[in-house]
């Protein structure tokens, strides 16, 4: 039996976002299906947050298109955007910075509904309900954000993002500003909510261990471009791009045997500037297996049976270059 086409909640085609000379995002294609969790992974400065901001149209892209639920929203005006925003929400890294300190928590959470002209009683009912879902007591509605802990504030952000039952949640490093002790609980909450409510999620993170636990598929970004995209199993069990291999080698894993089995790749230098990114393959200045043409010829993102990779040395059957052989260099 043929599997039905899965509905696309989000589609990015050739997304470009330049800030003056900074090529923050430089040609990203990405699809998120209904109910799917896609992790967008990369180092700080890779452009992943900018992708998130383009999706919720906090910033208008330089080029390319953003399609939400079948509607091209790339150049919508304010009013039309408001309708679209009911279908997509964002949660930021720093809840303190994204919650208005002068508003009571109940009003913060209710605001998206107020903008949608939902009546007062219905708003109150839904705020109570969503606070319960994120594990907060109803009394929290009468307090100010600064009276809460960081973890509680991030729960408030989640409540606000989910109160309008969006089809897509963009979660930009939702736990990385929190104490390590509460990161796991917020991540667990996000996973539980996603399972219960079924929203699609673009989970933006530099933390691969969180991805392994949460994501259905993983897109890896490097200097404004996606260099690998596959299912969680494909990317974790058989990472193809040398950059992904190096990220995985650096990520802590629960199982020490699995850690030892992973190739050791040490990333030499810092991420190059996005102002004048390296020619050819942008990773060539740090890649342990780079060959001559890597510095002149840009690899395209090839689809190798659903697993997409942009590297000259990955074979057509997906066999990656042997980075372990070259990994003594740093
Ligand atoms: Fe390394 Fe070349 Fe592949 Fe880029 S194209 S990842 S430099 S081997
Ligand atoms: Mg960021």
Say how many Å lie between the CA of residue 294 and the centre of ligand 2.
28
Q: State the ligand closest to the CA atom of 176.
A: 2
Cβ atoms 265, 249 nearer than 8 A: yes
CA–CA distance, 273 with 37 (Å, rounded to integer): 29
pLDDT digits (tens, 9 = 90+) for 238-289: 999 999 998 888 766 555 555 555 555 567 667 898 999 999 999 999 999 9
Q: Would you say the CB of residue 99 lies under 6 angstroms from ligand 1? A: no
The pTM of the whole model exceeds 0.95: no
Segment of 4-18, 68-82, 239-253 carrying the highest mean pLDDT: 4-18
pLDDT of residue 148: 94
Residue nearest to atom 3 of ligand 1 (CA): 311
Say how many Å lie between the CA of residue 219 and the centre of ligand 2.
15
The two three-digit tokens of residue 238, written as one number: 């058989």
Confidence of residue 93 (pLDDT cuts 50, 70, 90): confident
Q: Would you say the CB of residue 299 lies under 6 angstroms from ligand 1? A: yes
Q: State the ligand closest to the CA atom of 171.
A: 2
Confidence of residue 5 (pLDDT cuts 50, 70, 90): confident
Ligand 1 atom closest to Cα of residue 281: 4
CA torsion sign, 147 to 152 to 156 to 161?
Answer: positive
Structure ipTM: 0.96
Q: Would you say the CB of residue 223 lies under 6 angstroms from ligand 1? A: no
Probe residue for ligand 1, chosen from 227, 267, 290, 319 as the CB with the greatest number of ligand atoms within 8 Å: 290
Q: Which domains does the chain have, with CATH numbers?
A: 8-87+166-326 (3.40.50.300)
pLDDT digits (tens, 9 = 90+) for 95-150: 767 788 999 999 999 999 998 899 999 999 999 999 999 999 999 999 999 999 99
pLDDT of residue 94: 79
Q: Would you say the CB of residue 242 lies under 6 angstroms from ligand 1? A: yes
């Amino acid at each position: 039996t043929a599997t039905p086409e899965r509905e696309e909640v989000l589609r990015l085609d050739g997304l470009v976002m330049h800030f003056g000379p900074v090529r923050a995002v430089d040609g990203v294609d990405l699809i998120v299906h209904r109910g799917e969790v896609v992790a967008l992974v990369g180092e700080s400065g890779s452009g992943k947050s900018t992708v998130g901001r383009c999706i919720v149209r906090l910033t208008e892209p330089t080029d390319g298109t953003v399609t939400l639920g079948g509607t091209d929203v790339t150049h919508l005006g304010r009013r039309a955007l408001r309708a679209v925003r009911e279908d997509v929400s964002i949660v930021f890294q720093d809840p303190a910075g994204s919650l208005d300190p002068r508003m009571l928590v109940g009003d913060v959470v209710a605001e998206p509904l107020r903008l949608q002209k939902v009546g007062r009683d219905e708003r109150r009912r839904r705020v109570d309900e969503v606070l319960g879902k994120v594990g907060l007591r109803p009394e929290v509605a009468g307090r100010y954000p600064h009276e809460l802990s960081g973890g509680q504030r991030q729960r408030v952000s989640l409540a606000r993002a989910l109160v309008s039952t969006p089809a897509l949640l963009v979660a930009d490093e939702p736990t990385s500003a929190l104490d390590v002790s509460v990161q796991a609980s917020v991540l667990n909450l996000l996973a539980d909510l996603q399972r219960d409510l079924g929203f699609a999620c673009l989970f933006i993170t530099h933390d691969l261990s969180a991805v392994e636990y949460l994501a259905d598929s993983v897109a890896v970004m490097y200097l404004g471009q996606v260099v690998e995209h596959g299912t969680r199993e494909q990317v974790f069990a058989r990472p193809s791009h040398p950059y992904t291999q190096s990220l995985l080698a650096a990520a802590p894993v629960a199982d020490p045997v699995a850690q030892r089995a992973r190739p050791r790749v040490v990333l030499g230098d810092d991420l190059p500037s996005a102002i004048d990114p390296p020619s050819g393959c942008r990773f060539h200045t740090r890649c342990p297996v780079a060959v001559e043409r890597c510095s002149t010829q840009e690899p395209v993102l090839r689809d190798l049976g659903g697993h997409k990779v942009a590297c000259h040395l990955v074979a057509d059957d997906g066999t990656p270059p042997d980075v372990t052989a070259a990994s003594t260099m740093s």
